[in-house]
Structure 1
Amino acid sequence: MTFQDLVTMPSTFPSWIKLIPGRGAGPSAGAIVVFPHAGAAAASYRVLAAALAAGADTYIVQYPQRADRLSEPAHETVHDLAVGLFEAGPWASVAPLQLFGHSMGAVVAFEFARVAEEHGVAVRKLWASAGPPPCVVADMPELPTSDDEVLAELADLGGTDPELLADEEFAELLTTAMRADYRAFNRYDPSPEVCIGADIHVLGGRDDHRIATEVLRLWENHTAGAFDLSLHDGGHFYVYEHVETIAAQVNADV
């Protein structure tokens, strides 16, 4: 990290980066950073973050166009989103980092890792959960962005209470956030060879109809470190059914 980096790095985290203080008995060994899936607010990951905090301080990032960042402009690309998240906080002061991202959040976390490593901030491991590896992005169809298409997508993905989707006000907020994220993903154009130095541990649901196990294995192409894969029972949002197990996996590395 250069002197200029230290001069420009903020000294405190903004309020939209949510901290759940660690409850570990020993001295801090870094921090865990959680990256939500497309359309989700940080609050969706409070339960997982609370479980992760048994091992270390845990931060949940908030993307623009939702919750306390509702009025902020949408991000142009996934990479731009990751840059903004990195520049928002003094990550070097809480490193080394473990990054946990679910679905699109896995890709945001990967880009965050790239930016962090470029700035000399240590990333110990990326936990990529149910997300597409960068090498397959070019061959993926564009994600939907109209209101009706986004609502249909949410219903297909699962993980959202159907009664909430039927609420017009809630549905409008959710589609606004998801549209912003999907547009950013549609503009994401990584090199198939892009790589990070940190280890990558991929997690997935055995019954996930959105991303196959053989696709998850392709994340191995994107690390110069160690690679591992763990599967759990469940679909695309299996993570909500295995909070304690997943937290134990991550915290075993803290």
Structure 2
Amino acid sequence: MTDTRRNTGTWIRRFHPSDAPVRLVCFPHAGGSASYYHGMSRTLSAETDVLAVQYPGRQERRAEPCVGDLAELADLVLEEIRPWADRPLAFFGHSMGALLSFEVARRLEHEGVTLSALFVSGRRAPRLTRHGDLHLRSDDELVAAVRKLNTDDLRLLDEPEVRDLLLPPLRGDYQAVETYRYEPGPVLGCPVVVLTGDQDPQVTGDEARAWREHTTGAFELRNFPGGHFYLNRYATAVTEVVATHLRNLRIPRHGTPRAGGPGKHTTGKPPMAPCRKE
């Protein structure tokens, strides 16, 4: 029977419920919301059950306080993800979402659950995180800095009423990222696929390749033309990268997790396509 649960609480959005054999959990960027992944969910729904994380402080959760500490946010998200680990899990995160997905993946592995794959986009490796103070600056300075990264989706900031709604979560997320402290520990065991724009001012080639140090699993780096939000223009190509890797997992359609009973599973390393040359 198809699992059609839609009442996923406040943290998880499930736009297109699916009984597919693998679940993909998507983590938004700073200031972003779960709806950013609606298109990816629709495209992948025939093969993947897509969930999107909704952080506090935005859209229907705008009355809730933002979480300005990334470690605390990872702990909270982990609690919400556990019930969905009855199928193999993969994560996709962009920018702040990449960093957060990594931290949640670390916590899951500590509990005995290894992801099928971790897709990280638009973010340097966690050990190379640079600290900043944008979250402490004026509204105008914060908006100006963010516009340099994403000129396509921030026109709404020109509307005062909308700006008042968007700035608190944006500032809170920047606080979480800029105060993040990487804690050395066991590396991941899952495959890691890094996606980046070749003109992203936030991520150099070396910083993207450094993700290799955070896993003993397979590693791949994929470059796309464009800046920090290259995936706005190349959404179809990015989604196809994800779909191809998840197909290669060869998980039986009604297979069961392999270790530790319900909610506990491990995965072997799937074959990975060769890296696109930089």
Q: Normalising by structure 2, report the TM-score.
A: 0.79
Computed over aligned residues only, the root mean square deviation of the Cα atoms, in angstroms, reads 2.0
SS at the partner of 1:253?
A: helix
CA displacement at 1:48 relative to structure 2? 2.4
The residue type paired with residue 239 of structure 2 is: A
CA spacing shift, 1:162–1:196, aligned 2, 3 Å? closer
Aligned counterpart, 2:256: none
In structure 2, C-alpha distance between the alignment counterparts of 1:45 and 1:143, rounded to whole Å = 26
Aligned counterpart, 1:104: 96
Contact 1:164 1:171 in 2 (8 A): yes
1:129 equivalent in alignment to 2:121: yes
Gaps of 5+ in 1: 1-11
Aligned counterpart, 2:85: 92
1:13 equivalent in alignment to 2:8: yes
Aligned counterpart, 1:6: none
CA spacing shift, 1:83–1:194, aligned 2, 3 Å? same
In structure 2, C-alpha distance between the alignment counterparts of 1:176 and 1:160, rounded to whole Å = 20
Contact 2:132 2:179 in 1 (8 A): no
SS at the partner of 2:14?
A: strand
Gaps of 5+ in 2: 1-6, 247-278
- Listed one character per residue, the Cα deviations across residues 169-196 of structure 1 (whole Å, up to 9, x for unaligned) are 1112221111111111222111255522
1:204 equivalent in alignment to 2:196: yes
In structure 1, C-alpha distance between the alignment counterparts of 2:80 and 2:44, rounded to whole Å = 22
- Of the three residues 33, 38, 51, the one matched with 1:41 is 33
CA displacement at 1:160 relative to structure 2? 4.2
CA displacement at 1:162 relative to structure 2? 4.8
Aligned counterpart, 2:171: 179
The residue type paired with residue 247 of structure 1 is: T
CA displacement at 1:145 relative to structure 2? 3.5
CA displacement at 1:45 relative to structure 2? 2.2
**Equivalent residues, number:** 238
In structure 2, C-alpha distance between the alignment counterparts of 1:35 and 1:142, rounded to whole Å = 23
Structure 1 segment 163-242 matched on structure 2, within 5 A: 163-192=155-184, 195-242=187-234
- Provide the identity percentage: 35
Contact 1:36 1:61 in 2 (8 A): yes
Contact 1:33 1:100 in 2 (8 A): yes
Contact 2:67 2:176 in 1 (8 A): yes
Deviates more, 1:243-252 or 1:57-66: 243-252
Write 1 or 2 for the structure with the bigger share of helix: 1
In structure 1, C-alpha distance between the alignment counterparts of 2:171 and 2:16, rounded to whole Å = 32
